[in-house]
Amino acid sequence: MRNLQLSLNQTQKIRLQSALEKLESLSSKSNANSVVTVADSIPIYEEGILKGHGTLDRKGELVATVCGVVERINKLIYIRSLRSRYKPETGDIVIGRVIEVAQKRWKLELNFTQDATLMLSSMNLPDGIQRRRTAVDELNMRSIFTENDLVCAEVRSSHNDGSLQLQARNQKYGKLEKGQLLTVNPYLVKRRKLHFHHLEQYGINLIVGCNGFIWVGEHVEVKDKMAVDQTNDSEQQIGKSDQNSMDIDGQDGTFTPLETRQNICRIANAVRVLSALGFSITMEVIMETVNLSKTMNLDIHEMLGSEFYVLVAESEAERRSLTKRKR
């Protein structure tokens, strides 16, 4: 929110400041004793405490060396930084861009300190059959992924030297097409049980990557390979005499309807607004922002206007206030 540049009039400035102060008061009340800045003292109520990341023992007193939230796991005390780069954990759903096709592996950029590696042996092949990878598969790697392709994968393991291994052994992983890639600060994305979302009413797939890459694209059904092959064989036998109809079908397979493209842009703008305001990116908050824009009868481009930023901040303050009252 520090880099938020908006041309606000005096009324909008007052409204935005009021909403942000309300949000700050709500967060400070819930984390009054856990938020620390550099050189703040961390109270210790028991002996045998283990000092973790972001802490330092100075003259018998535990002090913070970074800004963040104090976390405790049994006797371990560490500070979770509020603004930091992506820190991978095994099982994270991530989105990366292919930067190199190497021997039996792809190199992906993940918004991490190092590039990640996706081995050919850890990739679900297009035929869907689990088998040993051969030299032919290695020669055909560019037919699966090539440079600048967007790939959804899962973190398989991370090593002490910072290297990262990925895997994509499921049909839900793989190449991403017909959509938009958005980049947000990784700390805005919280690890949850579900990072894949199918918005049926919009025909959209929403993938919230733990590394701060968010994908908004057209929904693609995962089909059974054998069923597809049988369908293709029957279509080839029936459709040989009608070349024009086959051409039309081919166009339909690559064409994204206008309504779907508009939905992609609307959801993407909602993510941009939430990211600029510094709010956590979840499917529920994104859909509330989209519904707010529709309730206000705003066009897609009007969502990036100053007034909508103020409305979203006020709506988020009201939502958090209601959530706290229910507790």
Q: What is the pLDDT of residues 19-51, one digit of tens each?
A: 888 887 776 554 445 778 888 888 777 777 888
Pair (188, 92) in one structural domain:
no
Looking at the fold, whether 187 and 289 belong to one and the same domain comes out as: yes
pLDDT value at position 33? 53
Domain stop point among 161, 176, 191: 176
* Same domain, residue pair 59 and 163: no
What CATH code is carried by the domain that includes residue 151?
2.40.50.140
Do residues 151 and 275 both lie within one domain?
no
Last residue of a domain, one of 83, 98, 116: 83
pLDDT of res. 231? 41
* DSSP state letters, 168-235: E-STTSEEE-SEEEEE--GGGSPP-S--EEEETTTTEEEEE-TTSEEEEEE------HHHHHHHHHHH
Q: Are 272 and 164 in a shared domain?
A: no
The structural domain count of the chain equals 3
Q: Is residue 99 assigned to a domain? A: yes
Between CA 281 and CA 207 the distance in angstroms is 11
Query: Would you say residue 250 lies in a domain?
Result: no
Residue range 210-221, pLDDT digits in tens: 999 999 999 887
163 and 111 within one domain: yes
Instruction: Tell me whether residue 245 is in a domain.
Output: no
CATH label of the domain that carries residue 58:
2.40.50.100
Q: State which of 176, 203, 219 marks the end of a domain.
A: 176
Does residue 121 share a domain with residue 154? yes
Q: Residue 301 falls within a domain, yes or no? A: yes
Q: Flag whether 252 is in a domain.
A: no
Are 302 and 230 members of one domain? yes
Residue 167's closest CA among 132, 210, 122? 122
pLDDT at residue 241, rounded to an integer: 43
152 and 54 in one domain? no
Please list, in sequence order, all residues whose beta carbon lies within 8 angstroms of the beta carbon of residue 266, skipping any fewer than 6 positions away: 290, 293, 300, 303
Identify whether residues 183 and 313 lie together within a single domain. yes
* CA end-to-end span of the chain: 28
Domain membership of residue 249 (yes or no) is no
Q: What is the dihedral of CA 308, 309, 312, 316, to 10 degrees?
A: -170
pLDDT score for 249: 42
Domain containing 145 equals 85-176
Indicate if 271 and 318 belong to the same structural domain: yes
The answer to whether position 220 is within a domain reads yes
- Domain check: are 119 and 156 in the same one? yes
Asked whether residue 33 is assigned to any structural domain, the reply reads: no
For residue 79, the model assigns a pLDDT of 86
Q: In the chain, which stretches have pLDDT less than 70? A: 1-5, 27-33, 128, 222-253, 327
Q: What is the pLDDT of residue 234?
A: 46
